[in-house]
Each structure stands twice: as C-alpha cells, then as structure tokens.
Amino acid sequence: MNTSTRDLRSLFCERFTCSPAEFEKRAFRKCLYLQARIIAPLLCWLNPGCFERDFLFIYYFGNSRNWPKVTAEVVALHCQDRLHPRFARNALRLRISGRKANKLAVMLFPPNPSKASAEELRN
C-alpha cells in the first residue's frame, strides 16, 4: 500500500500553483464533464446547492493520502449517484466524473512501488 505523508489537496495546490482556498473550485472544474463545465457557472448562480454532492466529494477526495482512500471516495460518489439518481446528474452528466477524478489522482500521487517492482521483474 502506497502511503503518502501529504494529502491530495496539497499535491494539487503544488502542481497547479494555487492556494488551498482555491483547491475545491479548481479541482471541481478539472473533474467536471465538458458539458457540465460549460453550464456550471450558470447553474451555481441559479441554484447554489446544485453541485453540493460534488463539492462534498472534492472535500473528502482532497483529504485522501493514499490509493485506497481515493478509490473509496470515487466508489462512494458512484454509489450516491445510483442510490439517489437525478436526471440532470445521470442523463445529462451535469456532475463530476469519477474517471477524471481518478486520472487526477494518478497524476498527483507517486506511482505505486509494488506495481513498479512487479513490472521490473517482468522485463
């Protein structure tokens, strides 16, 4: 298990040169589907709570310090969408993409040493 002493929030802020106060807004934007990214500012203005579930995800996702925690947060996001479906979230995809969030974590966390050593053994 790859355990980091730093959380995803601090790694994100370092990589994208932003303050911790800007993390949630910037990570939210990076993880949105394209159509959601275009319309999100208007939706937030009309209904400030429409992305509440997504911002809660970003908060807990930012606190992740290892891969199991990242995976748990992405799975929890998918479970929430299945347990409480909404037309705008599911059919129109006006929400965060779990796959984009996972790709962001892959970019920020160092590679898993056990996977790297297994690949070295194969070569």
Residue 2 pLDDT greater than 50, yes or no: no
pLDDT in tens, 5-63: 799 999 999 999 999 999 999 999 999 999 999 999 999 999 989 999 999 999 999 99
Q: What is the pLDDT of residue 62?
A: 95
Tell me the CA end-to-end span of the chain in Å, nearest whole number. 22
Answer whether 73's CB lies under 8 Å from 64's CB.
Answer: yes
Tokens encoding 31: 């993880």
Q: What are phi and psi of 33, to 5 degrees?
A: -65, 155
pLDDT surpassing 70 at residue 3: no
Mean pLDDT of the chain: 85
Answering whether pTM is above 0.85, one says no
